[in-house]
Structure 1
Amino acid sequence: MATRAEILDALGLWPLWRQRADFWSSSSSTTPVAEEPAPATHRADSADGDDMRRSRIAALSWQAFAADVDACTACELCRSRNKSVPGVGDMHAQWLFVGEAPGAEEDARGEPFVGQAGRLLDNMLAALDLARGRNVYIANVLKCRPPNNRTPTPLEAEACRPYLDRQITLLAPKVIVALGKSAATTLLNVDASIASLRGRVHHYCGVPLVVTYHPAYLLRNLPDKAKAWEDLLFARRALSA
């Protein structure tokens, strides 16, 4: 098992930022990408209506949650996904990490943050003495992958919001960490830069929310790892407040 110093070294926090070979390996396989359907510009028809759908989702148990997400047809993403990606982790976690949407690897495996960005997130958690499945739950705003990893549309985010809200109710986390601009602006319903949202305690569903960079962004922008570490320490203080 890696020591704390080794974990911090992997994050570039001890003593200098250094590149991890396994994060940057070019050996990962690629899969053909299907032609992207046009994003929905109108709400998909719902058999039971929006209000009834929200009420039904709001009553879901953990045991019924994943199957309900897998059966969802509220937006066009259900037609292009391979697997739905409900979330993963400790169902009694104090920490909830929320990203934007599943990528190709997540769509293939049905679990969020499993690629290079996921490995970086795991190291970030380890530096806080956390781990996915141990006091941590990981989810996305969207439960299905947008084709070609495009930015989710507002209607897609709106269709998935009842699921995230239900997860928050079931979890009752002490702090939410929004990973990346898209997740942050969607949850906070603002049009703002990530720089302007960092370093402050926001709230979503009555839970303190802290904004930081998406791990995929950090893989491309190494110097900002230090800022992300500051954000995580800030989130830990918000949790303890």
Structure 2
Amino acid sequence: MSGDRHSVAETAALLTDPDEIARREAENGIRQFNLTLDIIRTHVKDAERPFRLRSSTILQLHKAALDGLHPLAGTWRNTPVTIGGSGHKPPEAAFVSEEIEAMCAYVNEHWSTSNALHLAAYVLWKLNWIHPFSDGNGRTARAVSYVVLSAKLDSLLPGAPTIPDQIASNKKPYYDALEAADGQLTAGKIDVSTLEKMLDAMLAHQLLNAAKQASGHQ
């Protein structure tokens, strides 16, 4: 696949000035990442509060990313959406909530039997496949996937750049992996192995950088 995947929806954004949009996106990006870390901290090393993926968490993370940028920040889309640069057609708006609940159920039901990379890759793919928002789908999918990965590993992962930042800095492998998973579903299979390999390499890079930084201060 070539080109950039991007949401094309009927709902108009709130801002039109490119500089203002860029400023707001940067501020919201920090806000969303801080919220991501807060959610992870809530569940790490806390046996009394086992992690469960909930639609409310996804909506919280979306609102943080799109607040002040889009009228539907923190809500599911109510119009059709297409993905520029992709042949995938997301489900109709009427089925979004149902698809999200099914995705959360998959993660929660497989929590004890599947590994962290699979669950994080599944969420990263499935949220993009559902494309539940008019805008901000990729940002939110990456944040939710990172929450799932960290919670399953029971760790506030050290190191930088983080996996979401690595994906954002070079999206082609990410887009290619999403397309590969879409193709597997068309063939009747759930196979996110390409995304798993990508996340595995990115996790190793993040943790290696943390180890290097730690050793440099010794």
Shorter-normalised TM range: 0.3 to 0.5
Greater helix share, 1 or 2?
2
Q: Which has the higher contact order (CA 8 A, sep 6+)?
A: 2
TM-score (norm 2): 0.37
